[in-house]
Each structure stands twice: as C-alpha cells, then as structure tokens.
Structure 1
Amino acid sequence: MSGTPRVRLAAILTAAAAVVALAGCSSADGGNGQAGFVAGNGGVDTVPLAKRKPAPAIDGKDLENKQVALSDYTGKIVVINIWGSWCSSCRSEAAGLEQSYQKYKDQGVVFLGINTRDTDPTNARQFEANQGITYPSIYDPDGTQILKFPKGSLNPQAIPTTMVVDRQGRLAERAMRPVSIYDMDAILEPLLAEQHS
C-alpha cells in the first residue's frame, strides 16, 4: 500500500487509538486503581462532599452539530456518560441510562454523553437511534474532551465510564463499568438529597 508519510502516520495513529479504545471497553469491569477518593461498591467511586473538585470545562458540538457545554447546566446534577458505538458494554447500558434520564430529568438532573473514537458521526447517530437515546452527546472522536479531566481526579480510564457532577459543578461520582438503572438510583438519590442539606 502506498501513501505519503503523513497519511501512513495518520493510519498508524488511528489504529493505535482503536486498540487503546477497545482495550478500555473490554476492561471496563476491571479495577480502578485511582487514589484520592473513596472507592465504593461495585466499581463506583465517590468523592466526599468536602473534597470535591470542579469539573473541567467540557464543550463541543453534539451529534446534531449544535454547540453544547457542561456550563449550560449550572445548578443541575449532570450525568456524563463516555461511550462509543463500537463498544458492546456501551450498548448493554444504553437503555438503562435513557430510563434514568427519563426518571430524573424533572428533578434537576441532566444527562450528557461524550461520544469518542467514532471516526464517523453517522455511526454514533445510528447508535443513539437504535438505543433510543434522547439526551445530547458531544462528538469527541479524538478524546479531546476526555483529556480535560485531570489525572488523579475522577478521570475516565475506560469506556464506558459514567461520571456525575454535583449542583455546584464538582466531580462527585464515577463508574468505570456499564451502569444499570439501579446503579443510577444509588448514585443520584444521595446527590439529590444534598440540595436540602
């Protein structure tokens, strides 16, 4: 196969990114190995209220080419799900995430996806249509938004990862495995109760 060095380098980098992404997807049920927060049950990590740090400035175009930013949801609890259409674990959790979104959207909770490693947004849009996802997702094929999460924080290390930002814009929870509607209940109910404390 012929091509310029630049084209060959781009192909090599794309292949390497795909290998890393697939490894993340396949190891999503593994351990977390991060420090600086309290590891919870079943791979869900929780930051105590007094130790939470601000979430990074996530923003970009969604799959409908509309600008969206985490800052659009100030004062709300935000569930951020990092996913790819190629990830079987992402498919297994999608219906539960949509159910949780429908259950909590009138209680001050919003959902925001970050679609990564999909080189064609058509694949991501087809995934959302097939899975019935109605909340927006930022299209982030090269992982730029994911890299904004500082290392040593509740940064994502596998796909799928679900993170929750509290009403004050701080990282509060992280699950580095597929989550169910029951997981989301266990994560969101205490955060919803915080607004009254």
Structure 2
Amino acid sequence: MKLDTQTRRRAKILGALVIVMTLTGCASNDLADQYRDGTGKNYVSGNGTVTEIPASERSEAPTFSGTLDTGQSASSENYKGQVTVVNFWYAGCAPCRAEAPDLQALYTQFLPDGVAFLGVNVRDQLPTAQAFTKTYGVTYPSFIDTSGSVLLAFSGVVAPNAVPTTLVLDRDGKVAARVLGQILARSTLEALIQKVLDEPGSAGNTR
C-alpha cells in the first residue's frame, strides 16, 4: 500500500530527528566550557542539543506576560490551546541571525495548522529588535524582555545565558521540547513541532 504524502513527510523528518539527537546526545558540556574559556562573544550558546519531555513528565505551564514588538500586550493565556514555538534571541547573537530564516520558514509552513511562533528578545530595545525582524523578514511577534520577566517565567527550562534557545509548548502551555543553542537543521525543529502537533492534548487534536 502506498504511503500518502503527509505520512512520507513525517517519516522523513522524524528520521532526521533521530539522527540529530544521536549526534548531539554525546556532546560535552559546552556551556561550562565557554564560561571557563571566555570566547569574548558576550553570550553563551548551547550546542544544539535536543531534549524531549514526555507528556506525563512535563512541568506546569509557565505563566508570562509582557509587551510585544508590535506594541500590543500579550500573555501565556493568549497561546493556550495552541502548539507554540518560543525562541529566545537578541540581535547581536550570531547564531540567532543564522537560524532566523529557518524559524520564519517553519512559521509560514505551520501557520495553516494553527501553530503559534513567539520570540523573546532578552536584551534589545524596541528599535534594534524591529530592525532585526525587518532585515531577516521575521513576521511573527517577539516580547521585548529587557526586564527578564518572561525569561524568568521559564526558569529551570531555559539556561539564562544560553542564547538562542527554542522551546515547543504543547496545547496546555507546557514545555514539550527544547533546542539548546542554534537550530542545526530545520528538519529537527520541524519534527519536534509535528510530534507535539500530533498529540491529542486536553484541547483536542484538530488535525
């Protein structure tokens, strides 16, 4: 029996995820190494390691609120019932610039499925953040989180100095997956999103 296009796509991206997780699973503690060595780049990045959290082991959903780069206020309540991708970034972070096109492409790809994308700018003032999104064509919103309140809400999940970090939240707002550092392959995050999107969830699987 022939597989349909969607089934083949899922098999392909899940296969890619297994390979990436195998490669990154043996990585050394890059965060500690960078602290000790002092690279002079003014931030500590992760190594792209992927962590998935089974539904039964997920912590309570973080509660957060703030002002977006659009000038609108938003909170975690606005995203309940949706699979949500949260990316922590700032303009001077080279890995953030490198992964921006992949994040935008996945946002466009999953928009028809109702997946929300949300940036959290941990350092920049509004004009700098807006200049970044214009340069890289990023069309989803970001919190301007210079106070660190949104970052603090994810304490214990996101290493405070690991930028970028990308999280996938389930429909209940709980953290289901994390990429610590730059997304090394678009297919990795694609697979993580698809897996959480396919979960039944308390809000129901609408696919």
**TM-score, normalised on structure 1?**
0.76
The yes-or-no answer on 1:127 pairing with 2:147 is no
Which amino acid is the alignment partner of residue 54 of structure 2? P
Contact 1:89 1:160 in 2 (8 A): yes
1:155 shift after superposition: 2.4
Contact 1:21 1:117 in 2 (8 A): no
1:72 paired residue number = 78
1:22 shift after superposition: 2.4
Secondary structure at the counterpart of residue 149 of structure 2: coil
Secondary structure at the counterpart of residue 22 of structure 1: coil
Change (3 A) 1:21 1:57: farther
Equivalence map 1:166-185=2 (5 Å):
166-179=170-183, 180-185=185-190
1:58 shift after superposition: 1.7
Contact 2:167 2:178 in 1 (8 A): yes
The yes-or-no answer on 1:144 pairing with 2:149 is yes
1:108 paired residue number = 114
Change (3 A) 1:20 1:55: farther
Aligned residues: 162
The yes-or-no answer on 1:22 pairing with 2:42 is yes
1:189 paired residue number = 194
Which amino acid is the alignment partner of residue 150 of structure 2? Q
Contact 1:21 1:159 in 2 (8 A): no
Secondary structure at the counterpart of residue 198 of structure 2: helix
Secondary structure at the counterpart of residue 59 of structure 2: coil
1:21 shift after superposition: 8.8
Secondary structure at the counterpart of residue 188 of structure 1: helix
The yes-or-no answer on 1:46 pairing with 2:52 is yes
Q: What percentage of aligned pairs have identical amino acids?
A: 32
Which amino acid is the alignment partner of residue 68 of structure 2? D
Contact 2:101 2:136 in 1 (8 A): yes
Change (3 A) 1:159 1:51: same
Paired with 1:178 and 1:112, the residues of 2 have a C-alpha distance of: 16
The yes-or-no answer on 1:60 pairing with 2:78 is no
Over the residues paired in the alignment, what is the CA RMSD in angstroms? 2.1
1:54 shift after superposition: 2.2
**More displaced 10-residue stretch of structure 1: 170-179 or 86-95:** 170-179
Paired with 1:155 and 1:21, the residues of 2 have a C-alpha distance of: 19
Contact 2:64 2:149 in 1 (8 A): no
Q: Which runs of 5+ in 1 are unaligned?
A: 1-18, 30-41
1:37 paired residue number = none
Contact 1:59 1:67 in 2 (8 A): yes
Q: Displaced runs of 4+ in structure 1, greater than 4 A?
A: none
Paired with 1:181 and 1:115, the residues of 2 have a C-alpha distance of: 21
